[in-house]
Amino acid sequence: MFVVLVYDMGEKRVTKALKRCRKYLNWVQNSVFEGEISESNLAKLKMELDKIIVTEEDSVIIYTLRTTRYSEREIMGLRKGGQDLII
């Protein structure tokens, strides 16, 4: 499956979240990741992030796409990491 993961976290936890997400997904831009991931690895990533976040302060949003066949990505402005992937 293809996922887009976005997080908003306190400064102290951002680096830990960044490292965990980069293990499984491709960095796109600040706090945004995307890529193909298995269900088991997605479950692992969620468990790892759950140990990092403070639920009263932080949020993680995961968009799951079964296929990227009918999707498109448009980048406006500064291009950052991960342009090789197309949603």
Annotated binding site: 8
- Burial of residue 56 (CB within 10 Å: 0-12, 13-18, 19+) is exposed
Q: Which residues are annotated as a binding site for Mg(2+)?
A: 8
What whole-number distance in Å separates Cα of residue 79 and Cα of residue 85? Answer: 13
